[in-house]
Amino acid sequence: MPAAPAPTRADAEALDRADPLARFRDRFVGLDGSAYLMGNSLGPLPAATEDRLAAFTREGWGGRRVEGWEEWLDLPTRVGDRVGRLVGAGPGQVVVGDSTTVQLHKLLHAGLSGRPDARAVAVADDEFPTDRYVVDGVAADRDLEVRVVPLDGCDGPVAADAVARTCADGAVGVVVASLVRYRTGARADMAAVSAAAHAAGALVLWDLSHAVGAVPLALDADGADLAVGCTYKYLNAGPGAPALAYRARRHAHLHQPIHGWFGQVDQFAMDATYAPQPDARQLLVGTPPVAGLLAVDEGVALHEEAGVDALAEVGRAQMRMVWDAATAALLPLGVALATPADPARRGQHLALRHPDARALVDALADDGVVADHRAPDIVRLAAAPLHTRFVDLWDAVEGIRRHLAA
């Protein structure tokens, strides 16, 4: 595509002035003038969450004590349904609890339970380590072959044709893939990949960690089967907050294997036999982490208030500007862009490749720009429109340019 004109800092400032979501930046604690471009790693603290957690600690745990369970007991499904509305999932299909990795493990077993004849499980190439570890562990337990789905180019997303080829012989039970790649930010086509897998008799287990709260999602409409996702990145729920798990209603017979009292149909009957809940509550296991769930609730509330359409629009504009700025300023200096050029095929972080990636991130930090490095050669800059400014992104590109030109 033809090169766009390089945006200037004045352009970035103008975009900030026109940003309909700019007012949300003040809803976060302590950002002040800093450029925090790691919303894809640990989202900053919303002020409302600080208040909610303090009130829970003092009045809930500290005040109501055990009676607090009257309002906490259904948080995993109440917050789950609210997350569901954000990701295009009808009620009764999403819960929040456990870590992303535990959710992956549970849902991979659940998916495979519906395919006792499967001989293989597939995982996208260069998938996030914990996803690969889960796949390898489950495959070893179930004596399945692990197949790697090649990506669309070295940096691209998992694509429908590659999934079709990987699953062509009908041996694959479940394909595990991130919707948005943690490294390059490449974003898959959920509907097309799902259809390709289904045509070969496989389900897709999506890892939405770099997608939820970042890009518009329509799980039900796009034919999603199973999904997990992290809430402490773009949903701003704090370090180690519980993860989401989605199981499409048509797959309600696919049970996860950790039988716990929160997945039991009548939890306090203390019945002798485990009888699974008919809906997503079967995905629950043990006592839910109450504070973490309240933080997820507040994070989602901020997204609802901003509106998914506005978030998507501003998010796209931020990615376009940082892409254009990096193209103009950094490509001549030996930087490559790992993130796809197609706005529909990327998430909300820009990945730059350069051999001195680590030194570049350190140099940015000295300028007060917080970004991160992924070995060996990637710098990631996340655009989280709830709190990221256009000038933050512009300053990051300019900082890299100055360092490389020095």
| Catalytic machinery residues | 128, 207, 232-233, 380
Tell me if 247 sits within 8 A of 110, measured CB to CB. yes
Tell me if 318 sits within 8 A of 388, measured CB to CB. yes
Contact between 384 and its own copies per CB under 8 A: no
- CA distances in angstroms from 374 to 236, 246, 371, listed in the order given: 21, 28, 10
Ranges within 287-326 binding its own copies (CB under 8 A): 287-293
Q: Minimum distance from CB of 20 to its own copies (Å)?
A: 25
The residues near 317 (Cβ < 8 Å, ≥ 6 apart) are 15, 390
- Both tokens of 260, joined, read 């716990």
Ranges within 360-379 binding its own copies (CB under 8 A): 370, 372, 374-375
Nearest to its own copies of 54, 333 (CB atom):
54
Give the one residue of 72, 246, 323, 390 binding its own copies; rule: CB under 8 A: 72
Query: Which of 60-68, 84-92, 245-253, 343-351 is the region at the interface with its own copies (rule: CB under 8 A)?
Result: 60-68
Nearest to its own copies of 242, 315 (CB atom):
242
Give the one residue of 62, 90, 307, 368 binding its own copies; rule: CB under 8 A: 62
Q: Minimum distance from CB of 262 to its own copies (Å)?
A: 8
Nearest to its own copies of 29, 168 (CB atom):
29
Query: Which of 58-66, 194-202, 329-337, 394-402 is the region at the interface with its own copies (rule: CB under 8 A)?
Result: 58-66
Total residues at interface with its own copies (CB under 8 A): 75
How many Cβ atoms sit within 10 Å of the Cβ of residue 342? 12
- Tokens 């809430």, residue located: 231
- Both tokens of 148, joined, read 């790697």
The residues near 59 (Cβ < 8 Å, ≥ 6 apart) are none
* Amino acid code (one letter) for 30: G
Contact between 265 and its own copies per CB under 8 A: no
- DSSP track, 221-254: TTT--EEEE-SSSTT---TTPPPEEEE-GGGTT-
Contact between 358 and its own copies per CB under 8 A: no
Q: What is the DSSP-derived secondary structure letter of residue 206?
A: E
CA distance 142 to 119: 9
Nearest to its own copies of 149, 196 (CB atom):
149
Nearest to its own copies of 280, 325 (CB atom):
280
CA distance 40 to 213: 10
Burial class (CB in 10 A: 0-12, 13-18, 19+), 99: middle
The contact mask relative to its own copies for 268-287 (x = CB under 8 A, - = no) is xxxxxxx----------xxx
Ranges within 27-46 binding its own copies (CB under 8 A): 29-30, 36, 38, 41-42, 44-45
Question: What is the three-class DSSP state of 365?
Answer: helix
Give the one residue of 129, 153, 278, 332 binding its own copies; rule: CB under 8 A: 129
Query: Which of 127-135, 211-219, 309-317, 318-326 is the region at the interface with its own copies (rule: CB under 8 A)?
Result: 127-135
How many Cβ atoms sit within 10 Å of the Cβ of residue 330? 22
Ranges within 86-125 binding its own copies (CB under 8 A): 97-102, 105
Q: Minimum distance from CB of 200 to its own copies (Å)?
A: 25
Half-sphere exposure of 221 (CA within 13 A, CB side): 8
Long-range CB contact pairs, 280-283, < 8 A, 24+: 280/77, 280/80, 280/92, 280/93, 280/94, 280/95, 280/245, 280/246, 280/247, 281/76, 281/77, 281/95, 282/252, 282/255, 282/256, 283/95, 283/97, 283/103, 283/106, 283/107, 283/110, 283/245, 283/247, 283/256
Contact between 53 and its own copies per CB under 8 A: yes
Nearest to its own copies of 30, 33 (CB atom):
30
Nearest to its own copies of 206, 232 (CB atom):
232
Contact between 264 and its own copies per CB under 8 A: yes
Contact between 241 and its own copies per CB under 8 A: yes
Ranges within 187-226 binding its own copies (CB under 8 A): none
Q: Minimum distance from CB of 343 to its own copies (Å)?
A: 27
Tell me if 335 sits within 8 A of 60, measured CB to CB. no
The contact mask relative to its own copies for 134-163 (x = CB under 8 A, - = no) is x-xx---x----------------------
Nearest to its own copies of 321, 378 (CB atom):
378
Q: Minimum distance from CB of 315 to its own copies (Å)?
A: 20
